[in-house]
Chain A
Amino acid sequence: MTKWLGRFTLGKRKPVESARPVLKRGWRSVGVAAVGAAVIVALASLGSVAPAASAPTVTLTWWSHFASAANNQKVLLNAARRYEQAHPGVAVKITFYEKEQLILALRAAFAAGQNTPDVYYYDNDMSEFITAGYAADLSNGINWSNEEPWAKEYFRRPGPGGKVGVWVLPIEKDTDELYYNKKMFSDVGVSVPSGNYQLDQPAFTAAVQKCVASGRSAFAVGVGDRPYPGTYITNYLLLHKLGAKDLLDLWGGGGRVTWNDPRVQDVLTYERKLVDMKAFPASMSSMKLAESHIFFHTQQKACMMPVGSWYTSRAFEPPDKSGQPKEFYGILGMMNYPALPGGAGNNLKFMQVDSGVAINPKSAHLQEARALFNEIAMPQTGEDYVSIAVAPTTLKIDPSKIRGEFAGYWKMYNAVNAVDKPAVVAWQVVMKPGMMDAYSQVINSAFPEGLISVADATKRLEEARTSGR
């Protein structure tokens, strides 16, 4: 036998204690532990047994804007919950996006034909969705009695293959407004008449001059991240000078009215005068929309702010969420854009549908989606929109039911808008894509920033109009 170092030796078997009893005891312990755990879990679950909730048989998916607008979300969620209560077995699942991401996601989903939502948010930046066949015709099956008639007609247009239908259920109205700081106006000696809430051209020019002389900008406008804020002044000057019909022809490229028209030249020349007076902020090119709100109501570096009536959905948030300070509510004023000499549309005001909802025509739940839309198209949604989201609505509502702390704002809004006749024209809808791109580059950005002359702006816009792109 050779003895090795260590425990083992060769040549002689050392008796080894059998491991079987040890293994048997081990497995028994494991078995007992498993049974015990099962008993404990069973006992624990007894205390929390609840009747299984019946899963909804249908889930409607809804992709919406307003990821950053909690108040708008509340309105839509209220409508969804009312619908669910009235329709047991149907659930509504809303996903909130930022608008740009929403449009990209929708385009990708519809192009792929997969994972498309049943219903989705729609606005004027998505007009190609109608012609592309991404929206169902709502001419029938929807209760339109609670919608203002012009709003329904707003979305009556040719769809895929030229078929005319009504493609979107409108919810939010947009009237482009001219807000102003009452205290600043008072300080510089500008008074807005209470009858029509409108200055004439000389008075408006003087107001701009006085604002700038006081060390401020006349207008809070930022075009850093949007293709439209710089267009408000031009849009209204054109509307008031030309009237709605001629403006529609100019924007739509009809050819009867061109950018060389003397009236259009008058408008551009006047606006250039305002630009040369430093009416627009020097940082306009990089200022974002959200920053322009702060510029106006918190920093108070501008007398006026041309913006859509959805100003309130941002500004009426609490100050810590970039809303206006409490003291600003008392000095927020609203007026109409200036009247121009010889203007054909001085009493006109742009009115358009700011947003609505559309149904995916390939949805597997078309009936449920239409029923949801009938719930949305109730006065309750309109009242919520005005009271909670603080934005005007296309739904017919009882003004006495407008509740909340912003009732005073709505009094002012209604008073200013009562004197106007609506012009239901939106350049984003009527312009061809190439014209829209040129309009955004020239009128939104380069022209109010003073980068190009009237002649250069006219040349570029006329080129875009005649190209037909």
Chain B
Amino acid sequence: MLRTLQDVGTEKRRGAAAARTTAARRSSPVSWGLAAVFLGPTLFLYLVFTVYPLFRTFYNSLFVLPTVNIEQFVGLDNFRQIFSTDTIIWPAVQHTLFWSICSALLEIPIAFLLALALYARVPGGRIFRLAWFAPMLLSYVVVGPIWLWIYNYDWGPIDAALRTMGLGGLARPWLGDLSTALPALIVVTTWMFVGFNMVVFLAALHSLPGDIIEAAYIDGAGWWRTVGWIMLPLVWPTAAALTVLCVIGKMKQFALVYVMTRGGPLWSTETVATYVIKRAFQWKTVDLGYPSALATLWFLATLGVTLLLVLTFQRRPQHEA
């Protein structure tokens, strides 16, 4: 009756095999026809509107298209020009990366704090949740003119308030000043997206196991220690995902810049996306080769940054509940 380790191992293997067989018997084979019916339309749209334009852009980047239906193969010449003679793309890259980093540093912590406030059931929580989330529902075309008015030097509320408080010296054309134009736009996107991040954080906080938090209280941990040592590590995967989304979103920022500043003053708010559009549609040429090369490089850069962020956040140890 003595059971050796070998017997235990054999039993385990037999049990696993039996479990696999049972599982195989339980799951019914997929009907490919049915899968095609349900997946087909979406896959078709994805191929037509995402995959094809992507590969077509890669293809166009190797050509110059001086007129309709004429393609001149230039190989990597467009890419060479980007690195050698283009003086606008590199400031645009700097602005875009600066925007991405600042947004992540602002949106994620602010959203977490707001979510924490709602989790702690501050009075008027429902109203605050709606008020903080509402900007997310507006499109850039609506947000842009609203903030153009807010930032207006003559009648905008910011400068009017400064003058009322006797600080008229601080009033300035926020979007017309080289040092404040880009930060002014960053404020706008922070205002827009902090609500979305807040809602996601709130869901994450509500899904935390209550017994761990109770245990922390029982052990004498105060509110902030509980937040810092228990809750924050547990919602870290959520924060990581939101950070990646935030950075990717700002790396393709176009609409707000186009509506509010068109890349000015003096290219100080030029982003890669706005520069690509200008080269493609406002450069007195129908050539899409060079802007396609810009778009291809930036696609690869965004992909690289995304992978880097994912790898970085994956290395952080996960605290299992």
A-to-B contact residues, CB < 8 Å: 103-104, 107, 110-111, 113, 127-128, 131-134, 160-161, 223-225, 227, 281-286, 433, 436-437, 441-442, 445-446, 449, 451-452, 460, 463, 467, 469
Contact = CB atoms under 8 A, between A and B. Distances in A.
Interface string B42-85: 00000000000000000000000011110000000000000001
Nearest to A124: B284
A442 B153 CA distance: 21
13 contacts: A107-B281, A113-B68, A113-B69, A131-B67, A160-B67, A223-B264, A283-B154, A283-B176, A285-B265, A441-B265, A445-B265, A449-B265, A451-B176
Contacts of A128: 284-286
Interface of B: 66-69, 85, 87-88, 148, 151-154, 173, 175-178, 262-267, 278, 281, 283-286
Given A107-B286, A127-B284, A441-B264, A286 B68 contact: no
Given A286-B148, A452-B266, A463 B87 contact: yes
A441 B274 CA distance: 14
B176 A437 contact: no
A445 B148 contact: no
Contacts of B67: 131-133, 160-161
8 closest A-B pairs by CB: A285-B176, A446-B266, A283-B153, A433-B283, A132-B286, A433-B284, A283-B154, A132-B67
Given A110-B68, A467-B85, A445 B173 contact: no
A280 B147 CA distance: 23
Contacts of A111: 68, 286
A282 B153 contact: yes
B266 A285 contact: no
A224 B68 CA distance: 33
A282 B267 contact: no
Contacts of A285: 173, 175-176, 264-265
Contacts of A446: 178, 264-266
A286 B284 CA distance: 25
A451 B148 contact: no
A131 B263 CA distance: 27
Contacts of B153: 282-283, 286
A286 B286 contact: no
A451 B177 contact: yes
A460 B283 CA distance: 18
A433 B291 CA distance: 14
A269 B152 CA distance: 29
A437 B175 contact: no
A225 B145 CA distance: 11
Contacts of A433: 283-285
B189 to A, nearest CB: 18
Given A437-B283, A441-B267, A449-B176, 18 more contacts: A103-B281, A107-B286, A113-B69, A128-B284, A128-B286, A132-B67, A224-B148, A281-B154, A285-B176, A286-B148, A286-B152, A286-B175, A437-B88, A446-B178, A449-B173, A449-B265, A451-B265, A469-B85
B170 to A, nearest CB: 14
B284 A436 contact: yes
Contacts of B267: 441
Contacts of B173: 282-286, 449
Question: Of residues B148, B173, B266, B285, which shows the largest number of chain A Cβ atoms within 10 Å of its Cβ?
Answer: B266
Question: Of residues A132, A284, A467, which shows the largest number of chain B Cβ atoms within 10 Å of its Cβ?
Answer: A132
A37 B266 CA distance: 72
Nearest to A436: B284
Nearest to B176: A285
B286 A437 contact: no
A110 to B, nearest CB: 6
B175 A134 contact: no
Nearest to A464: B87
A286 B151 contact: yes
A127 B285 CA distance: 8
A284 B152 CA distance: 10
A448 to B, nearest CB: 10
A463 B87 CA distance: 9
A442 to B, nearest CB: 7
A225 B175 CA distance: 13
Contacts of B263: 441
A463 B267 CA distance: 15
Contacts of A460: 266
Nearest to B288: A111
B274 to A, nearest CB: 12
Contacts of B68: 110-111, 113, 132-134
A110 B288 CA distance: 14
Given A285-B264, A433-B285, A446-B265, A451 B178 contact: yes
Contacts of B178: 446, 451
B154 A445 contact: no
Contacts of A160: 67
A283 B173 CA distance: 6
A275 to B, nearest CB: 13
